[in-house]
């Protein structure tokens, strides 16, 4: 028997599309390494940027920008008549299939690799216009000024231009004559906010060549978002000031003055260690807040020395009375202005007691001469016990020193706050 195998259904036939035909016609003998224009004609390139995200590395003094670029140019080799290709108006080509301008970041911080762009397709239109929107990541060096850290504003710039072509071959312009980068797609950074951007074309002439080399310079101004820094750094600064000033209102004899100053000094030292972790070592610009804390450390150290002197003055048993030229103003209006009323009352009571006993001493008769040894010892002991001590006068002086120091330190902290912009 003869078995006949028959095919059921139509035989599959692949018909090429207008897109296939257009690709074949355009890319046949196409040299992607040759600029698509006569050597005496220039290629006009439009350059635009849409910033997505920024990252600042203060220790490396670099700014990393994540963005999309918009590059538009005309390729004379990629023109076609829509009528010949079924009205085809757009053609997508891979970036490695067509010529692309060699636009690079001149001031890149990553010199080991200058390929900044991702692999994305180009869109080609019938008039030869090519639109390429690659994602890109650029890292540039910035000259940081941390003087006003953590309330600082930094400015960085990116300079783009052709790596090999001069201005007679590629003329780069701002896309749609834009004067700034686009921020519509910006994802905010937790620490930095973009205040403004500017985009400007420059024509640079070098000594080696007579032709101009155009570039697009984009300036980015960033401001630090610092609410957390206010809570962590500024608030403790006021606490340190209060603790230092509170020391002058403790009793002159109180040993807690040394303890309070010591605790304040330890707190300042801890913050200085914190600053070393957060702030890079910048030779030209020391942050004002760091200078403020270091000044506070000096102030607290001098305050501790003064506290030791005041405590010693008030606790030492003095054999000499306080000079009247010093005591008189302290027990008068000046003392009241300094808030020494309590110490003035104690000193005045002792003064009255001394005056009364001195009058009794002048009235002693020869009766003292007939007092025998034991009786004389008893009366002299009673006399010494009733005689007021001189200690309160010296305590008054110590308290006055504290009050005057309080006023001086208030003025000193006020000056520091103004100078260091706290």
pLDDT at 244: 93
C-alpha 357/C-alpha 387 separation (Å) is: 7
200 plus 337 within the same structural domain: no
60 plus 191 within the same structural domain: yes
CATH of the domain at 197: 2.70.170.10
pTM: 0.74
3-state secondary structure the chain: CCCCCCCCCCCCCCCCCHHHHHHHHHHCCCCCCCCCCCCCCCEEEEEEEEEEEEEEECCCCEEEEEEEEEEEEECHHHCCCHHHHCCCCCEEECCCCCCCCCEEECCECCCCCCCCECCCCEEECCCCEEEECCEEEEEEECCCCCCCCCCCEEEEEEEEEECCCCCCCEEEEEHHHCCCCECCCCCCCCCEEEEEEEEEEEEEECCCCCCEEEEEEEEEEEEECCHHHHHHHHHHHHHHHHHHHHHHHCCCCCCHHHHHHHHHHHHHHHHHHHHHHHCCCCCCCCCHHHHHHHHHHHHHHHHHHHHHHHHHHHHCCCCCCCCHHHHHHHCCHHHHHCCCHHHHHHHHHHHHHHHHHHHHHHCCCHHHHHCCHHHHHHHHHHHHHHCCCCHHHHHHHHHHHHHHHHHHHHHHHHHHHHHCCC
Q: Are 322 and 390 in contact (CB under 8 A)?
A: yes
pLDDT at 208: 80
355 plus 316 within the same structural domain: yes
252 plus 391 within the same structural domain: yes
Classify burial at 245, counting beta carbons within 10 Å of its beta carbon; exposed 0-12, middle 13-18, buried 19 or more: middle
pLDDT at 387: 39
102 plus 65 within the same structural domain: yes
Q: Are 285 and 146 in contact (CB under 8 A)?
A: yes
Residue where a domain stops, chosen among 192, 224, 256: 224
C-alpha 169/C-alpha 99 separation (Å) is: 14
Residue where a domain stops, chosen among 224, 250, 282: 224
Closest among 144, 141, 91, 100 to 118, alpha carbons compared: 100
157 plus 251 within the same structural domain: no
238 plus 220 within the same structural domain: no
Q: Are 43 and 37 in contact (CB under 8 A)?
A: yes
Q: Are 313 and 398 in contact (CB under 8 A)?
A: yes
210 plus 354 within the same structural domain: no
| 340 part of a folded domain | yes
Tens of pLDDT along the chain (422 residues) come to 555 544 555 555 566 788 999 999 999 999 999 999 888 889 999 999 999 999 999 999 999 999 999 999 999 999 999 999 989 999 999 988 999 999 999 988 886 555 667 788 999 999 999 999 999 999 999 988 888 888 899 999 999 999 889 888 999 999 998 899 999 999 988 889 999 999 999 998 888 888 889 999 999 999 998 788 888 888 899 999 999 999 888 888 888 889 999 999 999 999 999 998 888 877 678 899 999 999 999 999 999 999 998 888 877 776 666 666 566 565 656 556 666 556 555 555 555 444 444 444 444 444 444 344 444 443 444 444 433 457 676 777 788 888 888 999 999 999 998 888 76
Tokens 């914190």 found at: 274
The boundaries of the domain holding residue 176 are 18-224
181 plus 282 within the same structural domain: no
Residue where a domain stops, chosen among 179, 209, 224: 224
| 10 part of a folded domain | no
Q: Are 100 and 34 in contact (CB under 8 A)?
A: no
pLDDT at 270: 94
Cα–Cα–Cα angle for 362, 365, 370, rounded to 5 degrees: 135
Tokens of residue 263, six digits: 């605790």
Closest among 166, 134, 211 to 35, alpha carbons compared: 166
| 134 part of a folded domain | yes
C-alpha 153/C-alpha 223 separation (Å) is: 4
| 81 part of a folded domain | yes
Tokens 């869109």 found at: 123
What is the total count of domains within the chain? 2
pLDDT at 398: 80
56 plus 180 within the same structural domain: yes
């Amino acid at each position: 028997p003869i078995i006949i195998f028959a095919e059921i259904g139509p035989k599959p036939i692949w018909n090429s599309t207008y897109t296939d035909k257009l690709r074949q016609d355009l890319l046949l003998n196409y040299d992607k390494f040759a600029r698509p224009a006569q050597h005496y004609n220039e290629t006009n390139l439009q350059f635009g940027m849409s910033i997505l995200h920024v990252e600042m590395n203060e220790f490396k003094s670099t700014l990393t920008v994540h963005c999309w670029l918009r590059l538009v140019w005309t390729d004379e080799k990629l023109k076609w008549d829509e009528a010949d290709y079924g009205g085809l108006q757009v053609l997508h080509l891979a970036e490695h299939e067509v010529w692309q301008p060699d636009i690079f970041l001149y001031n890149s911080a990553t010199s080991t690799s200058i390929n900044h762009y991702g692999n994305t397709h180009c869109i080609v239109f019938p008039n030869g216009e090519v639109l390429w929107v690659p994602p890109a990541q650029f890292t540039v060096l910035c000259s940081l000024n941390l003087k006003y850290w953590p309330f600082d504003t930094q400015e960085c710039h990116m300079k783009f231009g052709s790596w090999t072509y001069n201005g007679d071959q590629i003329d780069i312009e701002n896309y749609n004559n834009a004067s700034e980068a686009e921020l519509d797609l910006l994802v905010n950074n937790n620490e930095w906010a973009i205040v403004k951007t500017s985009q400007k074309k420059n024509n640079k002439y070098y000594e080696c060549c007579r032709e101009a080399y155009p570039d697009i310079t984009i300036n980015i101004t960033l401001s630090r978002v610092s609410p957390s820094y206010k809570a962590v750094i500024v608030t403790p600064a006021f606490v340190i000031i209060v603790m230092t000033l509170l020391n002058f209102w403790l009793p002159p004899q109180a040993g807690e003055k040394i303890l309070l100053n010591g605790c304040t000094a330890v707190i300042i030292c801890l913050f200085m260690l914190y600053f070393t972790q957060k702030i890079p070592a910048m030779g030209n610009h020391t942050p004002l807040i760091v200078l403020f804390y270091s000044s506070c450390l000096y102030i607290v150290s001098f305050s501790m020395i003064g506290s030791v002197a005041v405590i010693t003055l008030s606790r030492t048993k003095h054999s000499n009375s306080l000079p009247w030229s010093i005591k008189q103003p302290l027990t008068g209006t000046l003392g009241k202005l300094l808030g020494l009323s309590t110490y003035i009352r104690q000193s005045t009571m002792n003064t009255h007691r001394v005056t009364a006993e001195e009058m009794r001493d002048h009235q002693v008769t020869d009766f003292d001469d007939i007092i025998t040894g034991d009786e004389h010892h008893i009366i002299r002991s009673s006399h010494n016990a009733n005689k007021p001590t001189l200690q309160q006068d010296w305590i008054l002086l110590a308290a006055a020193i504290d009050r005057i120091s309080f006023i001086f330190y208030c003025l000193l902290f006020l000056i520091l706050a103004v100078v260091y912009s706290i």
